[in-house]
Every structure is written in structure tokens, then in C-alpha cells.
Amino acid sequence: MDFKDYYASLGVSPDADDKTIKKAYQKLAKKYHPDVNPGDKNAEEKFKEATEAYQAISDPEKRRKYDELRQDYQQWQARGGRGNYNWDRWQSNPGGGGGGFTYTMSPEDFAEMFGGTGSSGGFNFGGEGYSDFFSTLFGGGGPHAGRPRPGQDVEVDVQVTLEESYTGTTRLIRSGEKQIEAKIPKGVRTGSKVRLTGQGGPGISGGPAGNLYLIITVSPHSHFVREGDDLRVEIPVDFYRAVLGGEVSIRTLSGEVLLKIPPHTQSGKKFRLKGKGMPKLEKPSQQGDLFAVVSIVLPENMSDQEISALHDLAAKRGVIV
């Protein structure tokens, strides 16, 4: 359902007084009235639009409710307008009622717009009725008011850890008066949207319930950096293993593994551990890779003998220190 800006429809400002609103409507009604534009569907639509707007904001109670909705809707848009706007809280009792959009102008109004007396300016537009927006907000208004419509979709922000994204997890989510145990699949990323069909707002006039969407944020990790379905981790390698080669233990999300470090390994060297990354959301049986990046750690508390040996080695290689 689309929001309707009734003030824009009449070409008046939101703080316009009753006299200004009436004058604006009379001008539009005179221009687009079906008696003046027989068979012109565009003029008929313009007249219906202006008349619906006038019906909404010429009545003090309707205008008060509409202004509250308009302000709330604009605030929702200013916050980014994510998902669908929740119309449920504004819904009026539809009140049923058959027939189409019928408007009968008072003889005084008709005379003021068109001159003379006589016709009351009545006009029936058949079975199309008021817009869904008007019917939802104020009720009544023909067959559209009672038409079954889906309930409101609902979005809930959910934060999970990287480990929970790796294994999959659950969250207890409250939607209206319901509490739902929602399953969050393996491999979700920040921005993933998990749909829970039929767990959103209740349907309108017997329509189906809306959906509940979980908007996922994966928390940053202290050890791993996620890059799509791959992970990157920095591994400290002591100077001796980097020069002579050896093995280091690497932490992965599925446990510790041993990585063989070849002799003469430079800092920044990257090793790929295939299948040790994150599960793929669409194919959780498959996983990305883990990339281990070497960071050489110099030895501490070296003895005088060790330092002397390093000086000798540097001298043999022509390194001046």
C-alpha cells in the first residue's frame, strides 16, 4: 500500500486553514468534475484524487489522524525506510459497505463552483471505491475496505558471533505477542536476511500473515578476519622456524591444525588451508578457505653468545651493523 500525500493532491501546505483547503478543492473539482469532462478518464481520476484528499483533511478528526500518520511515515523515511512501513497500527475498522466511490456535492458548493442552482453534483464512480490507503486509515468506502490483504512484513536486527555463523544458531524473537525460536543457518554474513514465512504481522480481513525477516550482523572477531567465505589469520612464527623450517599450530574454527613452515620463510608469506573457512550460505556442505599470513617474531632475551654468533654471521654475509 502506498502513502498518499493529501496536501500535495490539493496543492496546499500542511498548515493550510480550512478556508484555504476548501478553496483549493473547489478549484480542482471545478476543473476536473465529470460533468465538465464527460468520458475523460484522466479528469475522472484527478477528481477522485482531489475528492478523497478533501474528504480526509476537511474533517477535523480525520485530519488529526492523517497528520499523525504523515509525521510518523516521514520519520520512518528519514530513518532509511528499511523494509515495509507498519500500517497495522493505523488501521481503522473497515466497516464493510458495498458500492463504489460516491460523492454528492451540496447544492451550495455546486452553485459556488459552477454557478446557478439545481443539480447537487452527485456522481458515482462504480465499484472501484476509495483507495486502500483511505480505507485502511478511515474505514468504509466500498469493496476495497474489506478486501483480504497480507499482513505487515516485520524486520528484526540480530547480531551473531563468527562462531555462531560457522555452526548455525537460534534466537528467541518476539513478534507482536508471539515468541518464536528462529533458526539462523550456517554461513550468514552481515546483511544476510533470514525469512520466517508467516511470522510477521497478522493478515487484514482474512488475508495471509506477513513475513518476519532477521537482518543479520556478524560481530568482528579478535582472531579472524572474514573475507566473503574465506578467513584470514595472522600466525606468529619465531625467527628460528622461519629460517630453518618447522611446524606451527594454527587455530581454526574447527580446531587446531599443524602447518609445515618451509625453511627461509619470509614475513608476509601466505599459506592456504583449503576448506577451513566459512560454510557457504547457499551450500553449507562446502566451505571457503583459511589463509594464514606469517608474522616473524624475533627472539627475546638473547644471550651474549647468541648475539656474538649473529654478528659473526652478519659479517660473513657482508652486513654492516
In this prediction, residue 113 carries a pLDDT of: 55
In this prediction, residue 261 carries a pLDDT of: 95
- Examine the domain organization and report whether 173 and 193 are in the same domain: yes
- Examine the domain organization and report whether 73 and 182 are in the same domain: no
Weakest-pLDDT range from 30-34, 233-237, 279-283: 30-34
- Examine the domain organization and report whether 102 and 173 are in the same domain: no
In this prediction, residue 280 carries a pLDDT of: 96
Q: Report if residue 120 sits inside a domain.
A: yes
The boundaries of the domain holding residue 36 are 6-146
In this prediction, residue 213 carries a pLDDT of: 93
In this prediction, residue 112 carries a pLDDT of: 57
- Examine the domain organization and report whether 262 and 246 are in the same domain: yes
- Examine the domain organization and report whether 235 and 311 are in the same domain: yes
Residue in 94, 95, 73, 96 with CA at minimum distance from that of residue 85: 73
The residue from 146, 165, 193 where one domain ends is 146
The residue from 125, 146, 167 where one domain ends is 146
In this prediction, residue 88 carries a pLDDT of: 77
pLDDT greater than 70 at residue 75 = yes
How many domains is the chain partitioned into structurally? 3
Q: What is the pLDDT averaged over residues 204-210?
A: 75
- Examine the domain organization and report whether 178 and 238 are in the same domain: no
Q: Report if residue 122 sits inside a domain.
A: yes
CB atoms within 10 A of CB 295: 13
Q: Report if residue 208 sits inside a domain.
A: yes
For the chain, the average pLDDT equals 84
- Examine the domain organization and report whether 71 and 128 are in the same domain: yes
pLDDT greater than 60 at residue 214 = yes
Residue that is written with C-alpha cell 483480504 in the block? 148
Q: Residue 178: which H helix or E strand, with range?
A: strand 178-184
- Examine the domain organization and report whether 209 and 289 are in the same domain: no
The residue from 162, 185, 218 where one domain ends is 218
- Kindly give the residue spans of alpha helices, DSSP state H, lying in 151-303: 162-167, 239-244
In this prediction, residue 225 carries a pLDDT of: 97
DSSP label of 265: P
- Examine the domain organization and report whether 200 and 281 are in the same domain: no
Residue that is written with C-alpha cell 458515482 in the block? 124
In this prediction, residue 315 carries a pLDDT of: 87
- Examine the domain organization and report whether 11 and 102 are in the same domain: yes
Percent of all residues in the chain with a pLDDT value above 90, rounded to a whole number: 49
Q: Report if residue 271 sits inside a domain.
A: yes
Q: Kindly report the CATH number assigned to the domain that includes residue 244.
A: 2.60.260.20
Q: Kindly report the CATH number assigned to the domain that includes residue 56.
A: 1.10.287.110
More confident position, 131 or 319? 131
Give 128's pLDDT tier (boundaries 50, 70, 90).
Answer: low
Give 100's pLDDT tier (boundaries 50, 70, 90).
Answer: very low
Q: Report if residue 1 sits inside a domain.
A: no
More confident position, 18 or 139? 18
Q: What is the pLDDT averaged over residues 149-170?
A: 91
Give 256's pLDDT tier (boundaries 50, 70, 90).
Answer: very high
Percent of all residues in the chain with a pLDDT value above 70, rounded to a whole number: 84
pLDDT greater than 80 at residue 248 = yes
pLDDT greater than 60 at residue 109 = no
Q: What is the pLDDT averaged over residues 259-274?
A: 96
In this prediction, residue 183 carries a pLDDT of: 96
DSSP label of 194: E
Q: Report if residue 321 sits inside a domain.
A: no
Q: What is the pLDDT averaged over residues 151-169?
A: 93
- Examine the domain organization and report whether 200 and 279 are in the same domain: no
- Examine the domain organization and report whether 205 and 264 are in the same domain: no
- Residues 62, 52 contacting (CB under 8 angstroms): no
Residue that is written with C-alpha cell 484527478 in the block? 46
In this prediction, residue 228 carries a pLDDT of: 95
